[in-house]
Amino acid sequence: MVSNVRVKGRNRDRLRDVSLALSAGRTLAVVGESGAGKSTLIAAILGLLKPSEGTISWNGAPTRAVRPALVIQEPRAAFNPVLSLRRSIMEPVVAQGIVLTEGRLQRLCAGLELPEEVLDRRPGEVSIGQAQRAGILRALIAAPPLILFDEPLSALDAVTQKHTARLIFDLQKEEGFAALIVTHDLGYAVAYGDQIAVLKAGRIEEIADADVFAINPRSDYCCSLRDAAIALGSLEVAA
Amino acid sequence: MTLKATGLSAVRLGRTILHPTSLEIEPRGRIGLVGVSGSGKSTLGHVLVDDLKAQGASVAHVPQSPAEALDPLRSMAFHWREAEVAVGLVPGAADQAGLFQALRIEGGDLRKRPWGWSRGMQQRFVMAMALIGSPDLIVLDEPTSALDPVVAAATMELLSTFLDDKETSMILITHDLGLAARWVDRLMVMDAGRLVEQGRTADILERPQTRSAKALSAHRNWLALPC
């Protein structure tokens, strides 16, 4: 739960009066252009930035306590280049002293369509799509209640993007984590978000259920986002 | 003038990354070169540009990110002069005002270095440089993927409008068939270093023949909204 959060920047507020609710098994997609405050929001939720006003909590405790996981945009940069993917993926498990249930790794690999032998390679030795699925695997392995996805698909090609989005969706149904997806791609947001929040210059411009937003965004700015998504082929208008 | 290139190929580290490929580009043609990552579309773009230049055609290339085209230590005015000289013009001879107006960057300060401009404006500046001297062909390699969607859509719109009454042909290289379909009338589909399918955009969207064209077409957008 993010309530009335303000994060000050040098010249202007990086976030101002931002309130969002996240819940188990649901996806909130945060859309906005560069500099809108998307990454600041993620850093604040992770506890890496302290808001100057407002609170961020998960069931009453600081979000840090539940160790939310993060999936970043550039899959290979998420891993130590000299370690096998398996070593990196197991880091949260080792760090948190978790005992994995029998077959969990295999089940997640199957869900992400990652052959297990891929995990013994280094990040530079796998395709970018595989590296991103390994990043998602690492986020999921310790079963956090909340996963933050920062532009998780933008390094992937259009076909791989849709496939990976589907895999994330299916795993969310099984695992029940709450997801916050930050993206500039409105098409992805409305296809997989339950709710859409549009961030502009540090403020929430509009927040709505995805199906309502897609058909009838309220503000001019949100209309221009939708028109751009149509012009770029991310959304299509049925004939 | 119809541009023709035959037997284009490329080998890297002993592996063929582009099998012999021939293609023709009509004047005013708008072609989308599409394929998934690693299919060879950017390689074909590069080899094509080199081949056509060797034939004496004037061809301009706009890379994915303006950072690849602009030197951070040089002013925009310097880049502009270099681009003029590169096409054999006397500095100051190009219709800068007209190009800047068409791409809506007339407010940009040419004394500044690239980072003094927004990324969207930098990318339009690169396009304006590419259009100096009315080239026979402009090749755009993922020109919108480094831009915010609103800026990207406006950039494509402005470029497309500018090209409307010109002879210049355009090739749009992208992994995204949905994007290409909005801006081109012919598609060329690449897969594993080969040109596997080509035809009118509407035909490939509706009746893709090959496995790769089918995948690209099926995943061309996230959602079709009811109108």
Residues A219 and A207: their CA atoms lie apart, in Å, by: 11
Domain assignment of residue A35, yes or no: yes
CB contact under 8 A, A157 and B175: yes
φ, ψ (nearest 5 deg) of residue B175? -85, -5
Structure confidence by residue, pLDDT tens digits, B35-46: 998 899 999 999
Structure confidence by residue, pLDDT tens digits, B48-91: 999 999 999 999 999 988 999 999 999 999 999 999 999 899 99
Domain assignment of residue A236, yes or no: no
Beta-ladder partners of A61: A58
When CB atoms are compared, the residue of A128, A184, A187 closest to B222 is A187
Q: Report all structural domains of chain B as residue ranges with CATH numbers, in order of start.
A: 33-175 (3.40.50.300)
User: CA torsion, points A44, A185, B63, B26, in degrees to nearest 10?
Assistant: 180
CATH code of the domain containing A196: 3.40.50.300
CB contact under 8 A, A158 and B220: yes
Domain count, chain A: 1
CB contact under 8 A, A158 and B219: yes
Domain that holds residue A127: 2-231
Distance between start and end Cα atoms, chain B: 41
Domain assignment of residue A63, yes or no: yes
Match 């309220």 to its residue by tokens: A218
When CB atoms are compared, the residue of B144, B180, B225 closest to A235 is B225
Distances (CA, A) of A124 to A45, A80, A116, A161: 30, 10, 16, 20
User: Which ipTM did the prediction report?
Assistant: 0.86
Domain assignment of residue A239, yes or no: no
Write down the pTM of the prediction. 0.90
Residue type, A145: P
Residues B80 and B92: their CA atoms lie apart, in Å, by: 9
Q: Name the residue in chain A with its Cα closest to that of B154.
A: A228
CB contact under 8 A, A191 and B223: yes
Whether A61 has a pLDDT exceeding 70, the answer reads yes
Measured between CB atoms, does A160 come within 8 Å of chain B?
yes
Structure confidence by residue, pLDDT tens digits, B150-175: 999 999 999 999 999 999 999 999 99
Count of H-run helices and E-run strands, chain A: 8, 11
Match 């560069």 to its residue by tokens: A34
Domain assignment of residue A238, yes or no: no
φ, ψ (nearest 5 deg) of residue B95? -80, 75
φ, ψ (nearest 5 deg) of residue A31? -115, 145
Domain assignment of residue A224, yes or no: yes
Helices (H), chain A: 38-46, 85-95, 104-111, 128-141, 158-175, 186-192, 210-215, 220-231
